[in-house]
Amino acid sequence: MKMKKIELDIARKLAWSFSRSTGLEYEELFAEACLGYAHALSNPRYDPTKSKFTSFAYWCIRSQLLTFVDRKKRTIYTTELKDNYFSKAP
């Protein structure tokens, strides 16, 4: 897979932006951005008569990064009732 310069720039800029806003590592996010680009290349939903490929690639890369960040930042929350139950002395 050979990335064009413009798609490479899109992947870099999105990965950098997500890195600064989420605190995740840039290299990890850039790898995910490249996966999003690969998804854009293999996706049959792209219609060249409706838009440019770079617009479609941007959407795919951003979607891939959002999914990745959502998986990485998932937090387990406990309820207040459970915390109060364990903190009470018998």
- Centre a 10 Å sphere on the Cβ of residue 60 and count the other Cβ atoms it contains: 22
* 27-74 pLDDT, tens digit each: 999 999 999 999 998 888 888 888 888 888 999 999 999 999 988 877
| Whole-angstrom distance, CA of residue 87 vs CA of residue 90 | 9
pTM: 0.73
Rounded Cα distance between 90 and 8, Å, is 61
